[in-house]
Structure 1
Amino acid sequence: MTDTTLTPLTADAVAAMFTRADGQFLFARWGRPIVPVVFGVEDATVRVLKGAIEAVVALAGHKMAETDPELGANLMIFFIRDWEELTATPNLDRLIPGLPEVVARLDAADANQYRAFRFEEGGAIKAAFVFVRMDAAMAQAPAETIALSQIVQTIVLWSDTAFLGASPLAVLQPDGPAILKPQIADLIRAAYDPVLPPHATDPAHALRLTARLPRLQ
């Protein structure tokens, strides 16, 4: 069971969530309605995934749409068995620059997930491509947990180190589906405050996010 104690996030903790391994602070949220499409799973799993997406988008106070006028779909989620499948997928190299090198790196790291983003001219998220390799660990996880984990890690541009030490989800019962940790839910809500810009590179943005988090009495 994962601890879900409501410990408020400090400004330093919030800043760390958006500070990349190279020391760069980089925050971005979606600037357009999210239009998801899912590949490689059965219809029942597609419904689970889209349900999780709808729930997190609603949590953020953002919007979804039936189609993106420029891209058709702007959140593409692929479930695969082997990273080599990506190089065999037609036109995928147009979406993921340097695809062979990316595949080689993921294969060498024995990774089971990968996310790539595209951005608007102003820096907001324009599109995201999510790849989940169904290794033994993923195969044992409930579909609801996988779905929630992927959309939580896609709804904003987190640091590449944000969740290395701790998952954004909490498991209340062994082998049961996970829930979103309340602190992360609060941070997602704060990230989509319409007063805040959709993109920021100044670490002071973390202070603005922290100021919008609820304070425990």
Structure 2
Amino acid sequence: MYDVAPLFTRADGEYVFARWGRPIVPVVFGVDDATLAVFKGAIEAVVTLAGHKMDETDMELGANLMVFFCRDWDELLAVPHLDKMLPELGALVGRLKAAEANQYRIFRFDAAGAIQAAFVFMRMDEQLAQAPADTLALSQAAQVILLWSDRAFAEVPPLAMIDGNVVLRPEIGDVIRAAYDPVLPVAARDASHALRIGARMP
């Protein structure tokens, strides 16, 4: 059986799993229409793989998956109302600049522990600028469909090149599909949950 537990076990040894508990409503800022279509297509493909749903609007938040592209982290400070959604924005921008990071994801959770919203920030440095839009889109879509551990993809990325096409690694696709089994909980803190996912994989 594939060892699922490391994908949701944090560096401190804690097992933390969460999936979306509501339909995903994405919005992408800072890109042209062509790139926007690529991102929405990738998100839709991963959501379909999971057997989850998308929607036109979130009754509570409007959009609940927000993707921001920028050239410099300071640009985020000028985004209207973003600091109201993320009160820690100022401190976060400082940390991202200090770390010279080029991407970051923040999740919000509902009372049941399910993912309620996600914010994806992409700073288009030289490395990201060289990556094809479909690769960036599929990678980010895969990394927000579940709450993966902080080191899940530190050594092996979620994507692979098969027959000249960038695709989700088959085992990662299987984990996503199994994790959204309606019988399984939307959130878990016990590593035995990983065995239940593994048992549902091919």
State the TM-score, normalizing by the size of structure 1. 0.90
1:188-203 matches, within 5 Å, as 188-203=176-191
Which moved further from structure 2: 180-189 or 164-173? 164-173
The answer to whether residue 144 in structure 2 is matched with residue 151 in structure 1 is no
The superposition leaves residues 88-121 of structure 1 with CA deviations (integer Å, 9 ceiling, x where unpaired) of: 2222122223212211111111111110011110
1:97 and 1:123 map into 2 onto residues whose CA distance is 20
For residue 163 of structure 1, the aligned residue among 138, 153, 156 is: 153
Determine the structure 1 residue equivalent to 2:77: 87
Residue 21 of structure 1: how far off its partner (Å):
1.5
Aligned residue number for residue 118 of structure 2: 128
1:206 aligns with 194
| Counterpart Cα distance in 2 of 1:97 and 1:118 | 13
- Partners of 1:35 and 1:74 within 8 A in 2: yes
1:9 pairs with one of 2, 21, 26: 2
- 2:45 is aligned to 55
The TM-score normalised by the length of structure 2 is 0.96
- For 1:49, the aligned partner's letter is F
1:31 to 6, 21, 26: 21
Partner Cα separation in structure 2 for residue 172 and residue 195 of structure 1: 32
| Conservation of the 8 A alpha-carbon contact between 1:96 and 1:116 | no
Q: Tell me which amino acid in the other structure corresponds to 2:169.
A: K
Identity level (%): 66
AA aligned opposite 2:157: S
Q: How many residues align?
A: 202
Structure 1, gaps ≥5 residues long = 1-7
Cα distance per residue 1:154-194 (max 9 Å; x no partner): 00000011111110001247xx6521000000000011000
Letter in 2 for 1:125: I
Partner residue in 1 for 2:64: 74
Conserved? CA contact 1:119–1:127, under 8 Å: yes
Question: How many Å separate the matches in 1 of 2:87 and 2:153?
Answer: 25
Change (3 A) 1:154 1:139: same
Alpha-carbon separation, structure 1, partners of 2:2 and 2:125: 33
SS class of match (1:153): helix
Structure 2 unpaired stretches of 5+: none
Q: SS of the residue aligned with 1:54? A: helix
TM superposition outliers: structure 1 runs of 4+ over 6 Å: none
Q: Which residue of 2 is the match for residue 5 of structure 1?
A: none
SS in 2 for 1:138: helix
For residues 177 and 151 of structure 1, the distance between their equivalents in structure 2, rounded to whole angstroms, comes to 16
Q: Distance in 2 between matches of 1:137 and 1:171?
A: 18
Shift of 1:31: 0.3
Aligned match for 2:102, one of 101, 106, 112? 112
Question: Counterparts of 1:37 and 1:194 in 2: how far apart (Å)?
Answer: 26
